[in-house]
A = this chain, B = another copy of it.
């Protein structure tokens, strides 16, 4: 079995050059967001002097940055004027409700960048070079940033996740949202089922972000908070459904199985557990986005990974769940994996 982009590709020195220079792309997107370039382009007229004036930037810098964004498909150019591509209009113009600028800010967070500056050492030791246990260090404030900044990326997945979890189920139900973060997944269940009561579990400062989102959605009366570590606090229950989104990838398999057993014990017979994960194919090198996510887990955690479906299914099975099924979310790198208690 051959896998990967390069398997049958011709000799291409440009591939090496492109990879070496790739760090320019991250820097350019971050700079464009910091400078408010995408709003300036959206408001028009889009010539260099106008954009430079809006952004209080030099014309040389503005022209070169905007050309670079065109080369990378997040602006387009007509004559000497820059315009949005469909992608930049939807996801980078701050006037768009789907704007993901804060996502870019989170993912290029200098606090998470350190390990990339000496990735060879990280590969040698096999674990994050961040202080302590990296992003899974208790009470790491990075999760408040995550809750606040990653919501635009996670929001669009809440609807599909709610549909898969509820499967048309109505009537009173209790839902536990582990590592709730922004809270959007549990909140979506509460929106789709007006008799659902949701308990969000996360560090206390993170839950304050979730509660604000619950208030915005008008479901705060049915939103309870359980502050602390998923490994330490009593879950209560039994629950009809448990959400475990973007969480398992931070830990090694035995830790995941241990947690899944605790989840199983808090789920009523016939209840369901739903994880949301980056799930690469069994070859671990496709599709590109879910597969590449393991690099983020290498640099930021002691032992996390992007688990394949077979690996996740084995964890579910060992913890006593059955009927494990995968539900890829269209237009996203995420997959919902469901299991029945």
Contact = CB atoms under 8 A, between A and B. Distances in A.
Contacts of A284: 63, 67, 77
A288 interface: yes
A163 interface: no
Interface in A89-106: 90-92, 100, 103-104
Contact of A6 (B56, B70, B104, B288): B70
Contacts of A5: 70-73
B58 A20 contact: no
Contacts of A4: 70-71, 73, 75-77, 85
Number of copies: 2
A288 B71 CA distance: 6
A17 B88 CA distance: 12
B291 A67 contact: yes
Interface string A243-270: 0000000000000000000000000000
Nearest to A99: B16
B289 A13 contact: no
Contact of A75 (B6, B20, B291, B333): B6
Contact of A7 (B1, B57, B76): B76
Given A4-B77, A15-B73, A20-B104, 5 more contacts: A16-B74, A17-B289, A57-B123, A60-B303, A77-B284
A132 interface: no
Interface stretch (A23-31, A168-176, A200-208): A23-31
Contact of A61 (B25, B87, B122): B122
Interface stretch (A136-144, A183-191, A216-224, A292-300): A292-300
A64 B12 contact: no
Nearest to A66: B285
A13 B331 contact: yes
A332 B260 CA distance: 53
A285 B74 CA distance: 12
Contact of A24 (B13, B63, B116): B116
A170 B83 CA distance: 53
Contacts of A291: 67, 71
A22 interface: yes
A19 B15 CA distance: 16
B76 A123 contact: no
* Residue of A20, A283, A288 most packed against chain B (CB within 10 A): A20
A92 to B, nearest CB: 7
